[in-house]
Amino acid sequence: MQISQRSHATFDPFIFFSVSTIVVALLLAALFDLDALNHDLVGMRQWIVTRFSWLFVLVVTALTVFSFFLAFSKFGAIRIGKDSARPQFSTLTWLAMLFSAGMGIGLVFYGVAEPIMHYSHPPFAKPETAVAARDAMRISIFHWGLHAWGIYAVLGLALGLAHHRYGEPLAIRSTLRPLLGNKTHQMAGKVIDIVAVLATLFGLATSLGLGAAQINAGLSRLFGVNVNTNVQLMIITIITLCATLSLVTGLDRGIRRLSELNMLLALLLLLFVFIVGPTAFFMRELPDTIGSYVQTVFSMSLFTGVFRNAEWQQSWTVFYWAWWISWSPFVGTFIARVSAGRTIREFVLGVLLAPTAAGLLWFSIFGGAALHTEIFADGGIVEAVDKNTATAIFALLDVFPMAGLSSLIAIVLVAIFFITSSDSGSFVVDMLTSGGNPSPPIWQRIFWALSEGAIAGTLLLIGGLSALQAGAVSSGLPFCIILVGVSVCLWQRLKTEPAVSTR
Q: At what angle do helices 256-276 and 91-102 cross, to 10 degrees?
A: 80
Residue 6 has a pLDDT of 38
Residue 372 has a pLDDT of 97
Residue 318 has a pLDDT of 94
Maximum distance among all alpha carbons in the chain?
65
Angle among Cα 496, 502, 503 to the nearest 5 degrees reads: 75
2 DSSP assignment: P
Q: Which residues contact 407 (CB under 8 A, 6 or more apart)?
A: 218, 221, 222, 394, 397, 398
User: CA end-to-end span of the chain, whole Å?
Assistant: 23
- Domains, the chain, with CATH or none: 33-495 (1.20.1740)
Whole-angstrom CA distances from 87 to 338, 343, 348, 356, 428 are 8, 9, 14, 22, 20
Q: CA-to-CA distance for 179 and 195, rounded, in angstroms?
A: 17
Do 112 and 367 form a contact (C-beta atoms < 8 A)?
A: yes
Whole-angstrom CA distances from 484 to 10, 156, 195 are 29, 14, 14
Q: CA-to-CA distance for 372 and 288, rounded, in angstroms?
A: 14
Closest CA to 57 of 65, 69, 46: 65
Residue 253 has a pLDDT of 62
Do 325 and 483 form a contact (C-beta atoms < 8 A)?
A: yes
Q: What is the residue-level pLDDT of the chain in tens, covering all 503 positions?
A: 333 333 344 678 899 999 999 988 988 888 788 788 888 888 898 899 899 999 999 999 999 999 999 999 999 999 999 888 899 888 888 887 777 666 667 888 899 999 999 999 999 999 999 999 999 999 999 999 999 999 999 999 999 999 999 999 989 999 999 999 989 888 999 999 999 999 888 888 888 888 899 999 999 989 999 999 899 999 999 988 887 777 666 555 666 677 778 788 889 999 999 999 999 999 999 999 999 999 999 999 999 999 988 999 999 999 999 989 988 998 898 889 889 999 999 999 999 998 899 899 999 999 999 999 999 998 899 999 999 999 999 999 999 999 999 999 999 988 888 887 777 778 788 888 887 776 777 788 888 888 888 888 887 887 766 777 787 788 889 999 999 999 999 999 999 887 554 44
Partners of 436 in the beta sheet?
none
Residue 475 has a pLDDT of 84
Number of helices (H), then strands (E), in the chain: 19, 0
Q: CA-to-CA distance for 142 and 146, rounded, in angstroms?
A: 7
Do 13 and 444 form a contact (C-beta atoms < 8 A)?
A: no
Q: Which residues contact 231 (CB under 8 A, 6 or more apart)?
A: 216, 219, 225
Q: Which residues contact 428 (CB under 8 A, 6 or more apart)?
A: 200, 329, 330, 333, 334
Do 170 and 336 form a contact (C-beta atoms < 8 A)?
A: yes
H-type alpha helices, 121-255: 130-144, 146-160, 177-180, 187-223, 229-248
